[in-house]
Amino acid sequence: MSAVVWLGGWLALPLLGAPLLSHPAYGRFSRVCRAVLSGAAGLAVLSFVQTVSALAGVAWRPLALLLLSAGICGALRAAAGRAAAAAPEEASLDPGRRLALLLSAAGVAIALLATLAGAAGSPDLLLFWGPKAQAFAAARSIDAGFLAGPRGATLHPYYPPLVTNLYALATMAAGSLPWRAAVLTFPLLLAALALALPSALRAAERPLAPAAVSAVVVCAIGLLGAEADVAGNADTMLLLFETLGLVLLLQPRPVEGPMLLLAGVLLAGAATSKVEGLPFVLAAVFFFLLNPGARRDLPGTLFRLLGPAALSLGAWFLFGLLRHAFTRYGEYGSLLDLRWDRFGLVLAQIGRTLWRRGFGLPYLVPAALILASRESPRRLPLAVGAGLTVFLTVTYMLPVAYPELWIEWSASRTFSPLIVLLSLSVRAPEAGSYGASATPPS
C-alpha cells in the first residue's frame, strides 16, 4: 500500500506546474506533453520551496508546500511575458510515427522488465539517496545534523537536493520508503520522457522525424539505464530535466520569453538533481547566448534562463553554509592538482566503460544519425556535448586514488547526456532545399 501512495503522489506533480503551463505560448505542445512539462516544472519549484523552508527552519507540511509551489508557478506565468497563442501542430499517425511510438513503448517496457528482474537497481539508492530521504522525512526537513554527522562522508552531503526532497515528501506521505517502488522511478521517468519528447521536438526548428528521434533517445536511455544500474538514483531525473530544458532552446529563433522561462525552470531542475547538472546548464546557456539573436535582451534572457537555477542552488549552498553541512561541490580533490599524466589512462578507461555498457550502442546509434544525415547538425546540442565531454574528461583527472574504478562506476552515467545531445543535433533540410519534403515530418 505504501508503494502505491509513494508513487501515486508523483501523479499530482503536473497540478503544481499547471498554472505556469496554462500560458498560451505553451499551447503549441500537445496536452500530454504539457502535463509532463507541468510535472517537471512543478517539481523543480517544489524542491526549491522545500529547500527554502529548510533554510528558514520551517518544518515541511505537504499541503502547504504543494499550495505554495502552485502559487509560485502562477506567479511565474504572470512574469513569463507575452507571446502569441499557439496550437499544437497536427501530427499524422503515419506508419513511421506509429512504429516510432511502438518502439518507444517497447523501450519503456523493457526498462520496466529489467527493473522488475533486479537488473537495474542502483546501489546508490541504498547507500545515500534512500537513507537521506528517510532521514529528511523523519526530520520533516533537510536534516543538516544527519548530513554533517558520522555517516556524512558516505552520504555526499553536498549532492543537490531535488531527488532527496521529492523522495522525502513521498516517504512522509507513505509512512516509509518502499524500496521496491523507488526503483520504479526509472521506467516511470523514462515513460514521461517518451510521452513529452515527440511533441516538444515537433515544435523545434526544422524537426526531423520527431517521434523516431524521440524513440532513439528513449530506447538508448532505457538500454543504458539497465546496463549502468540507474533505477532509483537521480540519473533518469537529470536526463528528463536536461532533455526537456534543452529542447525548448531549439525552438525557432528568436525563442520567446515564456519558452526561455520554462527552459530556465527545467534547467534549474537539472542543476538541483545532480552535480553534473550544473556544467550542463552553464554550457547550454553559454552556447545559446553565442547566437546573436539570443542577445537582443541579454539581461532578460539571462534572468529567465539562469535565474531559477541560481536561486535554487543559492538556497541549497546557503543552507549548507549556515548549517555547517557543506560549503562547496567536490570531494575528489582540487582542479589545481589535475593529474595530466593520467590523460591517456582516463581516455582509454572512458572508452572501455562506454563500450561495456551495451557495446557502446546508446552512444553509437545517435552518433550514426549525425554522420548519416545530409544536413549540417544543430550547433547548440553539439557544442554543449563537446563542452560537457571536455569538462568530464578533465574532472576524471582529479587526483583520486583509483581512477579506473571511479570511471568504471560512473562514466557511463555522467556521459549519458551525450545520448540526448547527439540525437537532438539532427534536423530536417530547410524548406525548399534539395530533398526537402512538403509533407509534415512523421
Residue 234 as a binder of another protein (CB under 8 A): the answer is no
- At its nearest, how many Å lie between another protein and the CB of residue 435? 9
- At its nearest, how many Å lie between another protein and the CB of residue 215? 4
Of 279, 282, 285, nearest to 298 by C-alpha is: 285
Cβ-based nearer residue to another protein, 107 or 245 = 107
Mapping DSSP to helix (H, G, I), strand (E, B) and coil, where does residue 289 land? helix
Query: What is the number of other CB atoms lying within 10 angstroms of the CB of residue 368?
Result: 13
Among 26, 29, 128, 319, the residue binding another protein under the rule CB under 8 A is 128
The answer to whether the Cα torsion of 7, 8, 9, 13 is positive or negative is: positive
Residue 231 as a binder of another protein (CB under 8 A): the answer is yes
Contacts with another protein by CB under 8 A: the residue count is 69
Phi/psi of residue 121, each to 5°? Answer: -65, 135
- At its nearest, how many Å lie between another protein and the CB of residue 151? 7
Contact between 130 and 177 under an 8 Å Cβ cutoff? The reply is yes
Supply the DSSP symbol for 22.
T
Residue 227 as a binder of another protein (CB under 8 A): the answer is yes
Instruction: Choose one: 118-126, 156-164, 303-311, 395-403; the region binding another protein (CB under 8 A).
Output: 118-126
Contact between 368 and 423 under an 8 Å Cβ cutoff? The reply is no
Residue 4 as a binder of another protein (CB under 8 A): the answer is no
Phi/psi of residue 231, each to 5°? Answer: -65, 120
Residue 127 as a binder of another protein (CB under 8 A): the answer is yes
Cβ-based nearer residue to another protein, 339 or 352 = 352
Residue 437 as a binder of another protein (CB under 8 A): the answer is yes
Site for another protein in 316-345 (CB under 8 A): none
Residue 198 as a binder of another protein (CB under 8 A): the answer is no
Among 14, 17, 130, 269, the residue binding another protein under the rule CB under 8 A is 130
Instruction: Choose one: 17-25, 107-115, 306-314, 394-402; the region binding another protein (CB under 8 A).
Output: 107-115
Residue 93 as a binder of another protein (CB under 8 A): the answer is no
Cβ-based nearer residue to another protein, 284 or 428 = 428
Instruction: Choose one: 224-232, 298-306, 312-320, 384-392; the region binding another protein (CB under 8 A).
Output: 224-232
Helical ranges in 249-358 per DSSP H: 257-271, 277-289, 298-322, 343-356
Q: Classify 118 in phi/psi space as left (phi over 0), alpha (psi -120 to 50) or beta.
A: left
- At its nearest, how many Å lie between another protein and the CB of residue 109? 9
Residue 233 as a binder of another protein (CB under 8 A): the answer is no
Mapping DSSP to helix (H, G, I), strand (E, B) and coil, where does residue 436 land? coil
Contact between 107 and 288 under an 8 Å Cβ cutoff? The reply is no
Among 12, 15, 86, 126, the residue binding another protein under the rule CB under 8 A is 126
Cβ-based nearer residue to another protein, 155 or 162 = 155
Three cell numbers at 230? Answer: 540507474
Bridge partners (DSSP) of residue 231 are 121
Query: Could you give the angle at the alpha carbon of 138 between the alpha carbons of 233 and 15, nearest 5°?
Result: 60
The C-alpha atoms of residue 143 and residue 155 are separated, in whole angstroms, by 12
Bridge partners (DSSP) of residue 121 are 231
Instruction: Choose one: 215-223, 236-244, 281-289, 316-324; the region binding another protein (CB under 8 A).
Output: 215-223
Among 64, 85, 179, 433, the residue binding another protein under the rule CB under 8 A is 179
Phi/psi of residue 170, each to 5°? Answer: -65, -35
The C-alpha atoms of residue 383 and residue 378 are separated, in whole angstroms, by 9
- The label of the residue with cell 562547496 reads 328
Among 24, 59, 175, 180, the residue binding another protein under the rule CB under 8 A is 180
The C-alpha atoms of residue 403 and residue 338 are separated, in whole angstroms, by 12
Among 46, 163, 204, 213, the residue binding another protein under the rule CB under 8 A is 213
Supply the DSSP symbol for 85.
-
Residue 223 as a binder of another protein (CB under 8 A): the answer is yes
Site for another protein in 276-305 (CB under 8 A): none
> What is the full DSSP assignment across 204-233?
SSS-SSHHHHHHHHHHHHHHHHHHTT-BTS
Fill in the per-residue mask, 10 to 39: x = in contact with another protein (CB under 8 A), - = not in contact: ------------------------------
Fill in the per-residue mask, 372 to 391: x = in contact with another protein (CB under 8 A), - = not in contact: xx------------------
Of 415, 401, 364, 61, nearest to 235 by C-alpha is: 415
Among 38, 51, 69, 104, the residue binding another protein under the rule CB under 8 A is 104
CA dihedral (190, 113, 128, 388) in degrees, to 10, reads -40
Return residues touching another protein (CB under 8 A): 94-97, 99-100, 103-104, 106-107, 110-111, 113-123, 126-128, 130-131, 134-135, 138, 151, 154, 177, 179-180, 183, 208-209, 211-213, 215-216, 218-220, 222-223, 226-227, 229, 231-232, 358-359, 361-362, 365-366, 368-369, 372-373, 426, 428, 437, 441-442
